[in-house]
Amino acid sequence: MLGCAGASRDELRSRALAAGLRVIDVRLDDDHAEVDVEGEGCADWGCAVLDVVDVETIEGAGDPLRRGLELMSMGRFWEAHEVLESLWRGTPGPAGGSLGFLVKCCAAAVHAQRGRMESAREIARRSMAAPVDERYLGGLLADLRRECGAPDRDLGRVLREFARRALGALAGENSGRPAAN
């Protein structure tokens, strides 16, 4: 993944292609851009390499819930989606439903980063139907569901703030809620 702030989606795509890279995806966030590319010309187009993501091993690093929340807190929703999805698939019951809700929220944020706002709104709307144990993560999911359902909300900002609070709950910090389940 490459990062290059202040450029448009089309400009980033054009610069990467001119450097001989194959562009997989371009996502823009408030404070960064993510360009997924393949090729050897990364140093030739003036954007910093933020991270090299191996999609085959992204789920394997440490505690997947904590890692997914860390990625969410940075606005890296595609990666958070990948990490949390692997956890969701192996978690039964209400906790699994809660993880499914988070995965769908991340998917909606990815579509927003791609500039596909109608798709983002539809995925966010469908995420509200997911069965959620609102006590999961110290009760913070109830707040997230309420905020995600609000019209004209900035989903990326909402998810980043939620992830920061959830990381605090996991660490046992005083978030005004009971500790994470």
What is the per-residue pLDDT across 48-94, written as a single tens digit (0 to 9) for each? 665 655 555 555 557 889 999 999 999 999 989 999 998 898 888 88
Q: CA–CA separation, 171 vs 73, rounded Å?
A: 15
Residue 66 in domain: yes
**Predicted model pTM:** 0.78
Backbone φ, ψ for residue 34 (5° rounding): -120, 125
Q: CA–CA separation, 164 vs 53, rounded Å?
A: 22
Residue 127 in domain: yes
Handedness of CA 55, 58, 72, 105 (dihedral sign): positive
Domain that holds residue 23: 2-49
Residue 177 in domain: no
Same domain, 10 and 94: no
> Which residue has better confidence, 151 or 19?
19
CATH number of the CATH domain containing 100:
1.10.3450.10
DSSP designation for 53: -
